[in-house]
Amino acid sequence: MTGKLLDHRVEGPASAPPLLLGPSLGTSLALWDRVAPELSATHRVIRWDLPGHGGSAPELIGPGATVADLAGLVLALADSLGVERFAHAGVSLGGAVGLHLAVHHPQRVSSLAVICSSAHFGGAQPWRERAARVRHEGLAPLAASADARWFTAGFTVPRLVQDHREADPAAYAACCDALAAFDLRDELARISAPTLLVAGREDPATPPAHLREIADAVPGAALVEIPGASHLAPAQCPEAVLAALRAHFDGTARHGTSVRREVLGDAHVDRAQAAQTPFTARFQDFISRYAWGEIWTDPTLTRRERSMITLTALVTHGHHDELALHVRAARRGGLTPEEIGAVLLQTAVYCGVPAANAAFATAQRVLAEEEAEKTREAEDAEEAEGAAGGTGDDAR
């Protein structure tokens, strides 16, 4: 860590898609403690601290700072980590940074979530007054009212209140300057990244109307309101925020279902969904989200290659019903009977002759059924053509 970069924490696989998480004014990357670890299962999560907050050096920002300055620091951090394109989620000031990045650096932002934030923060004067007060009195008086500004009555997160109290006053005041100057309302329509707005229904700082304003202006944006949440929704209602972010950034269940239909066919998926019960629902979601939404959509291998691998794995374990299903899927994906036979012959060497013998019997049955179906369709088409054209002189 150097004084030229924002303090940050990286979690999750290095090969996973990057997701940057930005904090609100007065907090640190601890704001995401109950959300980030879960997101790191599918993303390379990079939490960052504002200047003078948490572990970030206060000298990174000065009087008269802007949100553009903060966005520049975030881009410098991403560059230092070798991250060219990333998803971004931010709370309050962190959300404003995300909006600025999406408007002015669209090539860097793959997806955006704006949480308890705004395209403007109620005018410049209140923020200028707060900045002057902090420069004169420090942060202790303001930290004393943090719970009322951040949470609903009776709720608190002592670590975040401590972060507020220990932030650098000069850097905090400079962040207030940035909020005073921020107004992106006229530029929201330029945002092209998929955008989610998350509002805390009890948030006095950025009420849901502020998030609705953004949702109405950003093409295709979605809005989620969380009942019982105030300004720091990820700390107060982490499960609800996590569910919203997963649905937005992963998007795998819906996409996975479409891939599943492309590979296995509508008839099979319709039967599986019709047979779904409360007991099997989570398993069906698991299949759609991970098997079809992540593995089968990975462009590293083609669909044909994945079919060949799948056939081999099913032969190895003797899953003959699944093998029949995936022989049909392989034909749907363009594999010829000869190619399927070659795959099964390969399994005879590495999986055993008895396993391959049973697999050939299953595949032969499926291919025969396919030929019979084609014959029936051809006969039906011929009958329909004859009925439409008539016979004798009428057919000429």
Q: What does the DSSP assignment read for 214-231?
A: HHHHSTT-EEEEETT--S
Q: Rg (Cα) of the chain, in Å, rounded?
A: 28
Residue keyed to tokens 């003797």 = 318
C-alpha 366/C-alpha 181 separation (Å) is: 68
> Is the pLDDT confidence value at 234 over 70?
yes
Q: Are 121 and 176 in contact (CB under 8 A)?
A: no
Give the HSE-up count for residue 357: Cα atoms under 13 Å, Cβ half-sphere.
3
Q: Is 311 helix (H, G, I), strand (E, B) or coil?
A: helix
Alpha-carbon distance values, 266 to 100, 360, 373 (Å) = 42, 26, 17
Q: What is the pLDDT of residue 46?
A: 98
Q: Which residues, including other chains, have CB under 8 Å from residue 304's CB and lie 6 or more apart?
A: 330, 333, 334, 335
Q: What is the pLDDT of residue 394?
A: 36
Q: What is the pLDDT of residue 263?
A: 93
In angstroms, the first-to-last Cα distance of the chain is 86
Of 256, 262, 264, give the one whose Cα is nearest residue 324: 264
> Is the pLDDT confidence value at 180 over 70?
yes
Q: What is the pLDDT of residue 3?
A: 66
* Least confidently predicted of 2-6, 62-66, 242-246: 2-6
* Least confidently predicted of 25-39, 146-160, 272-286, 290-304: 272-286
Q: What is the pLDDT of residue 393?
A: 40
Mind listing the pLDDT tens digit for each residue in 269-326? 888 888 888 888 888 878 887 899 889 988 899 999 999 999 999 999 999 999 999 9
Instruction: Report the helix count and the strand count for the chain, using DSSP H and E.
Output: 18, 7
Q: Are 194 and 220 in contact (CB under 8 A)?
A: yes
pLDDT category of residue 257 using cuts at 50, 70 and 90: confident
C-alpha 254/C-alpha 34 separation (Å) is: 26
Phi, psi of 14 (to 5 degrees): -65, -25
Q: Are 53 and 171 in contact (CB under 8 A)?
A: yes
Q: What is the pLDDT of residue 299?
A: 85
Pairing type for strands 18-22 and 86-91 reads parallel
Higher pLDDT among residues 210 and 396, named by residue: 210
Q: Is 196 helix (H, G, I), strand (E, B) or coil?
A: strand
> Is the pLDDT confidence value at 363 over 70?
yes
Mean pLDDT to the nearest integer, 150-175: 97
Q: Whole-prediction pTM value?
A: 0.71
Q: What is the pLDDT of residue 251?
A: 64
Residue keyed to tokens 């492309």 = 262
Other CB atoms within 10 A of residue 334 CB = 11
Mean pLDDT to the nearest integer, 332-356: 96
Mean pLDDT to the nearest integer, 355-375: 95
- Mean pLDDT value across the chain: 93
Mean pLDDT to the nearest integer, 362-372: 95
> Is the pLDDT confidence value at 131 over 80?
yes
C-alpha 213/C-alpha 210 separation (Å) is: 5
> Is the pLDDT confidence value at 266 over 80?
yes
* Least confidently predicted of 153-157, 191-195, 384-388: 384-388
Q: What percent of the chain has pLDDT over 90?
A: 80
Q: Are 337 and 311 in contact (CB under 8 A)?
A: no
> Is the pLDDT confidence value at 227 over 90?
yes
Q: What is the pLDDT of residue 107?
A: 98
Give ∠ CA 297-303-304 in degrees, rounded to 5.
165
> Is the pLDDT confidence value at 368 over 50?
yes
Of 91, 80, 83, 101, give the one whose Cα is nearest residue 5: 80
